[in-house]
Amino acid sequence: MAEDHYQDAPGFLREFLFYLLTVKGRSVRTVDAYYIDLRTFLRYLKCSKMTGEFPEDLSDVAISDIPVSVIQAVTLSDVYEYLNYTLTGRENSAKTRSRKVSSLRSFFRYLHIKTTLLPTNPVENLEVPSVRKSLPKYLTLEQSLELLAGSMEPGSERDYAMLTLFLNCGMRLSELVGINLGDFNTKEHSLRLLGKGNKERIVYLNDACIAAVERYLAVRPRPKRTPKDQNALFLSRTGSRISPRRVEQIITACLGRIGLQGQGYSVHKLRHTAATLMYQHGQVDIRVLQDILGHANLSTTEIYTHIAERQVEEAMKNSPLAKVKAKKTPQP
């Protein structure tokens, strides 16, 4: 979704989105997500406050004509009614509703603090729906080795290099797609990544990563002449920078070759796998792991300590002596 797609948004929403892009430095993908969430909220407001009619599909409801007075009249009760609608009318999960709450809080905080449109913030006390925290899904060490072995044949140099970087560096999909040739520091064997919120971080490459990238560069196709394609590390067969969707398709195919397709594994699960293997086998301190993964909060990284605790618990339960009990002494 490009910036010109925001043209159907009212001025106050468009200004907020451009504020996120230019001042806060959020990525286009992140701002698009804000836009989709807030567009749904404004469509709901228009139906509930202006027209009084709710069509089965809100996607045809235009929001460009919503006056700022509608936003100024929003109450906390209105927002809770909207969240109830997303639960009952759209069957949004707690995680999805939690994301929508985050978008609303950022939006109204901007209108209250950065502009003069709202004298008070109606969602200041808006609570986030509780989301059940589950342990991330990841590949075992044996599955990871099998996944790499399945992509070692000639002609798969690019796919093997991508898998190697995912499993060794724990990078995000957007970070891998955005790698440029100039991001490598060959003297220090390091790589500069552009993460969430346009935050840069450095990851250090082990021998496996260096060898896989060099092997791919030897057969890298001729790039197109546009700057974004010439500098890109990973290219499509036509010479353009590879797209996130294409990487997802490649990883899905690689997983399918070892019988793991359709079992909930994905590109992001490779990031979980890298973090889990580093914590379990690499004796990596949790704060170092936080820096490697580019997590803003340590609490996000700490879930990998729970993985280790769960495995210890399972190992104890599966001990061959776990069910050996002394016979009861007969009572005299």
| Cβ neighbours of 94 (radius 10 Å) | 13
DSSP per residue over 287-309, as a string?
HHHHHHHT-SSHHHHTHHHHHHH
DSSP string, 47-110: IIIII----S-GGG---TT--HHHHHT--HHHHHHHHHHHHHTS---HHHHHHHHHHHHHHHHI
Q: Is 271 a catalytic residue?
A: yes
Residue 172 bears catalytic tag: yes
> Is 295 annotated as catalytic?
yes
- Which one of the listed residues 39, 172, 241, 272 is annotated catalytic? 172
Q: Return the axis-axis angle of helices 267-281 and 303-317, rounded to nearest 10°.
A: 70
Choosing from 6, 82, 265, 304, which is the catalytic residue?
304
DSSP assignment of 201-228 equals: EEEE--HHHHHHHHHHHTTPPPPPSSHH
Q: Report yes or no: 44 and 58 within 8 Å, Cβ to Cβ.
A: yes
- Long-range CB contact pairs, 312-320, < 8 A, 24+: none
Inter-residue contact 92 to 86 (CB < 8 Å): yes
- Pick the catalytic residue from 82, 271, 272, 279: 271
Residue at 319: amino acid letter: S
Angle subtended at Cα 164 by Cα 158 and Cα 167, rounded to the nearest 5 degrees:
140
Q: Which of 112, 137, 215, 268 is catalytic?
A: 268
Please identify which residue in the block is written with the tokens 């520091």: 185
Q: Which of 105, 196, 201, 246 is catalytic?
A: 196
Beta bridge partners of 232: 180
The answer to whether 112 touches 118, Cβ cutoff 8 Å, is: yes
Q: How far apart are CA 192 and CA 179, in angstroms?
A: 8
The CA dihedral of 34, 78, 132, 175, to the nearest 10 degrees, is 0
C-alpha 140/C-alpha 31 separation (Å) is 35
- Per the annotation, the verdict on 304 as an active-site residue is yes
Active site residues: 172, 196, 268, 271, 295, 304
